[in-house]
Amino acid sequence: MLDWLLKIPRWVSSAVVISAVLYLTLAPKPLPDNDIRFWEHTDKIVHALMMAGTYWSLALDIGRGQRLSVSCRMWLLSVVIAFGGAIELAQGAMGMGRGASLGDFAADSAGTLLAALTANSLLRALFNKPSTL
């Protein structure tokens, strides 16, 4: 899997993830209607996962197998949280029936923070080859 990840041109994974997040959050009806019923606040988990995925894809592209410095992680944390905030503001401004939500922004921020705390471990797990005995 590592060889496959390294063959992807830098920034492609981030572009795909960011495009998917923008579509899912800004399209009026991004998914077809279905009869699946979710529990209350499922959308908060989805928001957290989307922002965590955004952070991890950017960290993968920036790090390319190296640990991210604290300043880089803090910068990336700020950028992804601002991205989540911008999405919420855009939803409110677009008048498409999806309003800006402080709860969604809190979920975006929580997912980003979780990703920031785990990014170096994820990079290490992806790029360190297991030792053989």
Q: Is 95 exposed, middle or buried (0-12, 13-18, 19+ CB in 10 A)?
A: exposed
Which range (2-6, 38-42, 69-73, 116-120) has the least confidence? Answer: 2-6
The overall pTM is greater than 0.85:
no
- Number of folded domains that form the chain: 1
Which two tokens mark 126? 């992806």
| Mean of per-residue pLDDT scores for the chain | 84
On whether residue 58 sits in a domain, the answer given is yes
83-112 per-position pLDDT tens digit: 999 999 998 888 776 778 899 999 999 999
Backbone Cα Rg of the chain: 16
The pLDDT value recorded for residue 94 is 86
Its sign, for the CA torsion 118, 49, 66, 72, is negative
On whether residue 46 sits in a domain, the answer given is yes
Share of the chain residues as helix, strand and coil, in percent rounded to the nearest 5: 70, 0, 30
On whether residue 4 sits in a domain, the answer given is no
On whether residue 131 sits in a domain, the answer given is no
Query: Domain range holding 92?
Result: 42-124
pLDDT bracket for residue 63 (50, 70, 90):
confident
On whether residue 13 sits in a domain, the answer given is no
The pLDDT value recorded for residue 132 is 43
On whether residue 92 sits in a domain, the answer given is yes
On whether residue 20 sits in a domain, the answer given is no
DSSP label of 67: P
6-51 per-position pLDDT tens digit: 677 888 989 999 999 999 988 887 777 766 677 777 889 999 999 9
Residue 23 amino acid letter: Y
CA nearest neighbour of 18 among 80, 101, 60: 80
